[in-house]
Amino acid sequence: MAGKKGQKINAENSHRNPQYWKKLNPTWSDEECEQKANWIKKSSNYRCIEYYERYYPELSHEEHILLRKQKLNEQKTNYPNCIDYYEKRFPELSHEEHLKMLNEYSKAENYQCIEYYEKRFPELSHEEHLKMRQEKVKTALEKMPDMSGQNNPNSKSNTTLEQRQERSPFSKKFYEKRNLTEEDRHNFTSNIKREYNTQLSYWLHKGYSETEAKEKLIERQKTFTLEKCIAKYGEEEGTKRYNDRQQKWLKSLYQSFQNNGDGRSKQSRFAKEIIKECCKYLSISIPKKEKYISYNEKVFAYDFTYNKKIIEFQGDYWHCNPVLFDETFFNKVKQATAKEIWEYDRIKKQAAEHFGYKVLYVWEYDYTKDPENEIKKCLDFLSK
């Protein structure tokens, strides 16, 4: 660590190190020293509420939040990778023109874009720019460390569930740990869907034409291709890795069908237990396929159907259990907010009822707490 004038500072003498506080206060516990060191770190960062608590102790918590919000908004105007930067400097221009300027800057600073090379080497031809881009991307891929499996610091084998939640901006714990407001969480989750780069709207907002946006989307969706493997590992090794991965995927898919049936996912384990008990009660074979209903140009799949009754097994994460998630929660896998998922499920139930079916929901949360009660609820529903 270096000081303001370049001198080296012993880590043990840093206020950000728990050892410093342990040495200063031998009677303190390790947890107290850790908390004090963390507070010092946060109180030096204008993005954290502790910063304002430290420098403005006379103000209330609400005033600290307001100051922080103002500071963050001011900082946005200092960086050309934020649209606020252009709104401040060119107030006479429209929002679309600001977006275009932001897009041009972003492309010129991204080595994966051809504009990056056009800005730095204007004397070269377009073909030379393309070649430079190809070589740069290839070199970057070669230098990229292997972060798969246990090499990933966020791997389940290296972290606890609480640690992963504290690192994920999709979790409430992420904001609680940093003392951020509910508004910060809402702003992130409400904007992330529009800006996610596996959607066409993301590239359109970046300023690409519809044709260019579709091409960028196709390129982004090809996360694992033979060409990328060859570019990273060479022709022989890359081809071998690609074929091995494809065989592994096919084997996994086959096992999934064997274990779960045609439409049942691995996440539906708790559903299998209830279905097994229901079929035993009704003296019928366990169905391999789900029930499908077409309604208003959409097709919905239902977990368990008997006569004119349907039982839906709702996984807490996949269906955003209202007991655990609020309506602004963003489901990263489904690429939808909890509110949107609930609306989809509402229409799905409406479709079943339109054709005369009665629907019962069983939540994973309820089954985990009391399996016997949920099974009894299902049997009572089927017997009426």
What pLDDT does residue 30 have?
87
Bridge partners for 294 per DSSP: 299
Same domain, 235 and 318: no
- Pair (320, 245) in one structural domain: no
Residue 21 lies in a domain: no
CB half-sphere exposure, 43, CA atoms < 13 A: 13
DSSP state of 111: T
HSE value, Cβ hemisphere, 13 Å, CA-based, for 111: 11
What pTM was estimated for this model as a whole? 0.38
What is the per-residue pLDDT for 107?
86
pLDDT at res. 197 = 62
Q: Is the residue at 10 inside a domain?
A: no
The per-residue pLDDT string of the chain (384 residues; one tens digit each, 9 = 90 and over) reads 444 444 444 556 778 888 888 888 888 888 888 888 888 888 888 888 889 988 999 999 889 888 988 888 888 888 888 888 898 899 999 888 888 888 888 888 888 888 899 999 999 998 898 889 888 888 887 887 777 777 777 777 788 888 888 888 778 888 888 777 777 777 666 555 445 566 666 777 666 777 777 777 666 656 667 777 787 778 888 888 888 887 776 566 455 444 444 444 544 667 888 888 888 888 887 776 677 888 877 788 888 888 888 999 888 888 888 888 888 888 777 788 889 999 999 999 998 898 888 999 999 888 888 888 888 888 888 887
Of 208, 161, 168, 162, the residue nearest 188 (C-alpha): 168
Half-sphere exposure in the Cβ direction for 49 (13 Å, CA)? 17
Give the 3-state secondary structure of residue 56.
Answer: coil
- Based on the fold, state whether residues 272 and 347 are members of the same structural domain: yes
Ramachandran class of 93: left when φ > 0, alpha when ψ lies in -120 to 50, beta otherwise: beta
Tell me if 5 is assigned to some domain: no
- Specify the CATH number for the domain of residue 358: 3.40.960.10
The reply to whether 239 and 328 lie within a common domain is no
Domain boundary among 239, 260, 281: 260
232: containing domain: 226-260
Contact residues for 26 (Cβ-Cβ < 8 A; gap 6+): none
Same domain, 285 and 243: no
In a domain, 238, yes or no: yes
Last residue in a domain, options 260, 285, 302: 260
| 343 and 317 belong to one structural domain | yes
Q: Is residue 62 part of a domain?
A: no
Report how far residue 226's alpha carbon sits from residue 234's, in angstroms, rounded to the nearest whole number: 11
Best CA proximity match to 191, nearest among 330, 344, 48, 338: 330
User: In DSSP terms, which residues pair with 379 in a beta bridge?
Assistant: none
Cβ neighbours, 10 Å, residue 59:
14
Q: What is the tally of structural domains in the chain? A: 2
